[in-house]
């Protein structure tokens, strides 16, 4: 253009006087200039952000409201809280605690600027990519998150954390920051702060902690749900490994001498887990199951729940829960006598009731008392299912048969049915036909069906020839849930314990219920139900849990009830002879009319009901605290109990009749 030839451009790009590729390659001056402008821009933006983000008021953890749990009818079950936290000054904290925490969390604490650029960058990248926003935070940043911010994992929150951490580091001493961090950190077992943690784990004040105990509490800062040694074998192993590392790390950083380290070779086992007295009886077990469901559905953690302010509406039926506890107590008192029979010692009961139509857990029995027997027997995956697993083998066989024939399954009572042998073996307690069925059907197909029916993968045994015999160990909750598939026309709804949750008056997401899935065809479900009803009567006797005169003791197992008919779904022990380690009974109750009435689906199995009557699983086993394996069942309840196998149906019958 006339008048512009030879005039220098402000940005010489594309480059004048160059041809080909060189025309499009920027000069070093352009690159350097652009980089410089970028640096200035970022610095300016950071300055703007730094000026506009102030240090907010501290969160008042102690002022949080308690978390309240409600029964299904809306009445209050229990209030948990307020926050378990006791602030203490740093002079009440041993140097060993300070050394262990700094070695574990932030070795450069006393020399750094309070932030970790590398950690922030990694967290932001992880969040943008949808991964968990992991660590790398300094003690100052963690203190800021605990004290001034929410626990949300967002890019905005991480930027605010970074800026506030810089300001806090400039305005507070390192001692003040460390004191605040130790008083606000989550250590698990409902404890916020080092003082509450010292009492929760060792029953002492923080100032009495020794270096070995201090190292374990420091290990918990990485995640109490993973490193509390009282939460199972895997957690215990993780805790020991990290405990050793923290002690060694203190030697590396010069905070502890090798000679001092050598004094702590034995892992300082903490005290047993305890429940507050407000969670005595079955309440603690109910809260545990509710919390487990909340954490899996909403992503909330124990740490979040411990902060309080939640309103948790459960599916637990108050009357059914009390009836179930009353039934177990009555059977234990009547049939077990540890002073008279050694075999009656260490006998444990577990039970759960699940509503077929939607999977609601309406009742459970977790043990004698949650404050004394912490393990939840209704939710344990340590008890083999035994013969109670065989119906899934039968269902898989019927389903395969229907697919191969392209028609409805042949009634199992006919000689032409390939599944007739399995029904006969089920009623006679024979194992070889089920082993053969596993070979014919394929163990993977049986496992697939069991998973689809609601059993957890972690509870299923290895796919070995004995897999169809019940070597898997599902919980009572999961086994009851899986059996609802048979009672619900082949449909299965995942079990759940919480219907809704609010926090500070606002609903918490994650509690929408998925629609039930069709796991079996209605015809197959009907075939299995029919076989199970026959098995129940055949296995337990001609009148196992039926009372027709209302006196309550006319049946061979003493099940009262008065003019009601019960349809057993399943009964069975774990293993024959001296290997038997458990006994199970899974049942559902219906009126004599069974197959008719409002709400009954026409394609549902006779006797299946309307989906409101719960399916209940009851298990009995022997477990000595600290023992690696279950004890044998021989002699439990005396010679007339069939290795204890009559105890679960007695509990079930008493549960139905309890008022």
217-231, 299-313, 608-622, 643-657: which has the highest mean pLDDT? 217-231
* Confidence at 408, pLDDT banded by 50, 70, 90: low
CB 30 within 8 A of CB 24: no
Q: Pairing relation of β-strands 506-507 and 361-365?
A: unpaired
Q: What CA–CA distance (Å, rounded) separates 352 from 475?
A: 9
| Over residues 541-560, mean pLDDT | 35
CA–CA dist 251, 263 (Å, integer): 13
Q: Is the pLDDT of residue 283 over 70?
A: yes
Longest dimension (CA), the chain: 117
Q: Which residue has the higher pLDDT, 620 or 170?
A: 620
Phi, psi of 193 (to 5 degrees): 95, 155
Cα first-last separation, the chain = 101
Over residues 572-576, the mean pLDDT reads 51
- Of 259, 245, 216, whose CA–CA distance to 96 is shortest? 216
Tokens, residue 429: 């307690």
- CA 303, 308, 314, 319 dihedral sign is positive
Percent of the chain with pLDDT over 70: 73
Q: Which of 197-201, 346-350, 625-629, 652-656 is the least confident region?
A: 625-629
Select from 185, 176, 212, 364 the least CA-distant residue to 288.
Answer: 364
Cβ–Cβ < 8 Å for 87, 61: no
Give dist(CA 119, CA 405) in Å, integer.
61
Place of tokens 């006679």: 428
| Residue 472 confidence (pLDDT) above 90 | yes
Q: Residues 27-42: pLDDT tens digits?
A: 666 666 666 655 655 5
d(CA 161, CA 144): 6
Which residue, 452, 427, 431, is CA-closest to 568? 427
Q: Tens digits of per-residue pLDDT, 616-643?
A: 999 999 999 878 889 999 889 988 776 7
What are the phi and psi torsion angles at 433 (to 5°)?
Answer: -60, -30
Return all residues near 406 (Cβ < 8 A) that are at least 6 apart: none
Question: How far, in Å, CA of 435 to CA of 424, rounded?
Answer: 14
Answer whether residue 135 shows pLDDT above 80.
Answer: no
Could you give the C-alpha distances from 347 to 295, 386, 582, 656, in angstroms and in order?
31, 18, 10, 22
Name the 3-class secondary structure at 121. Answer: helix
**392 within 8 A of 470, measured Cβ to Cβ:** no
pLDDT attached to residue 26: 65
Mean pLDDT estimate for the chain: 81
Indicate the pLDDT class of residue 302, thresholds 50, 70 and 90.
Answer: confident
Alpha-carbon distance 312 to 289, whole Å?
12
Average pLDDT over residues 529-546: 57
Strand partners, 192: 85, 186
pLDDT at 659: 63
pLDDT digits (tens, 9 = 90+) for 431-454: 899 999 999 999 999 999 999 999
C-alpha 319/C-alpha 317 separation (Å) is 6
Residue 61 pLDDT greater than 90, yes or no? no
Q: Would you state the pLDDT for residue 237?
A: 96
């Amino acid at each position: 253009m006339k008048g512009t030839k030879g005039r220098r451009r402000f940005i010489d790009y594309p480059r004048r006087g160059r041809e080909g590729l060189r025309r499009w390659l920027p000069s070093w001056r352009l690159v350097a200039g652009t980089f410089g402008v970028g640096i200035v821009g970022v610095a300016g933006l950071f300055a703007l952000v730094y000026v506009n983000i102030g240090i907010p008021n501290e969160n008042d953890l102690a002022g949080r409201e308690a978390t309240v749990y409600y029964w299904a009818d809306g009445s209050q079950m229990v209030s948990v809280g307020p926050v378990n936290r006791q602030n203490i000054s740093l002079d009440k904290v041993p140097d060993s605690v300070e050394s262990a925490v700094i070695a574990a969390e932030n070795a450069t604490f006393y020399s750094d600027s309070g932030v970790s650029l590398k950690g922030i960058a990694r967290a932001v990248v992880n969040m943008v990519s949808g991964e968990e926003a992991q660590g790398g935070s300094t003690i100052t940043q963690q203190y800021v998150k605990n004290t001034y911010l929410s626990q949300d994992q967002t890019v905005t929150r991480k930027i605010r954390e970074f800026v506030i951490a810089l300001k806090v580091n400039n305005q507070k001493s390192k001692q003040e920051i460390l004191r605040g961090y130790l008083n606000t950190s989550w250590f698990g077992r409902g404890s916020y702060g080092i003082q509450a943690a010292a009492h929760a784990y060792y029953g002492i004040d923080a100032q009495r902690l020794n270096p070995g105990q201090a190292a374990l509490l420091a290990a918990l800062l990485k995640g109490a749900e993973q490193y509390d040694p009282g939460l199972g074998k895997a957690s215990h192993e993780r805790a020991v490994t990290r405990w050793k590392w923290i002690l060694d790390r203190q030697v590396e950083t010069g905070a502890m001498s090798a000679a001092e380290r050598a004094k702590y070779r034995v892992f300082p086992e903490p005290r047993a887990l305890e429940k507050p007295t407000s969670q005595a009886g079955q309440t603690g077990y109910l809260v545990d199951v509710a919390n487990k469901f909340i954490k899996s559905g909403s992503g909330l953690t124990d740490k979040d729940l411990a902060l309080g302010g939640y309103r948790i509406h459960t599916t637990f039926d108050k009357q059914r829960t009390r009836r179930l506890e009353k039934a177990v107590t009555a059977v234990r008192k009547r049939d077990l006598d540890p002073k008279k029979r050694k075999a009656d010692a260490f006998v444990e009961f577990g039970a759960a009731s699940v509503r077929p139509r939607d999977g609601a857990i309406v009742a459970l029995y977790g043990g004698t008392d949650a404050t004394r027997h912490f393990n939840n027997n209704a939710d344990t995956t340590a008890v083999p299912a035994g013969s109670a697993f065989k119906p899934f083998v039968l269902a898989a066989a019927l389903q395969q048969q229907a697919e191969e024939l392209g028609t409805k399954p042949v009634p199992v009572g006919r000689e032409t049915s390939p599944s007739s042998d399995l029904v006969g073996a089920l009623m006679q307690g024979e194992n070889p036909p089920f082993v053969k069925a596993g070979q014919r059907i394929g163990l993977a197909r049986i496992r697939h069906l069991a998973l689809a029916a609601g059993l957890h993968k972690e509870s299923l045994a290895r796919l070995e020839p004995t897999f169809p015999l019940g070597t898997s160990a599902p919980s009572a909750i999961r086994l009851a849930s899986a059996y609802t598939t048979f009672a619900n026309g082949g449909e299965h709804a995942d079990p759940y314990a919480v219907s809704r949750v609010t926090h500070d008056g606002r609903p918490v997401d994650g509690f929408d219920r998925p629609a039930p899935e069709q796991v079996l065809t209605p015809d197959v479900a009907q075939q299995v139900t029919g076989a199970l009803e026959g098995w129940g009567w055949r296995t337990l006797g001609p009148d196992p849990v039926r009372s027709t005169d209302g006196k309550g003791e006319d049946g061979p197992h003493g099940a009262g009830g008065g003019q009601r008919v019960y349809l057993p779904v399943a009964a069975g022990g774990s293993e024959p002879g001296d290997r038997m380690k458990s006994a199970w009974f899974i049942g559902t109750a219906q009126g004599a009319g069974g197959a008719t009435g409002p709400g009954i689906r026409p394609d549902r199995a006779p006797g299946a009901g309307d989906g409101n009557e719960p399916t209940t699983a009851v298990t009995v086993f022997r477990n000595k605290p600290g023992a690696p394996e279950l004890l044998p069942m021989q002699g439990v309840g005396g010679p007339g109990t069939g290795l204890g196998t009559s105890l679960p149906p007695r509990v079930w019958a008493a549960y139905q009749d309890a008022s």
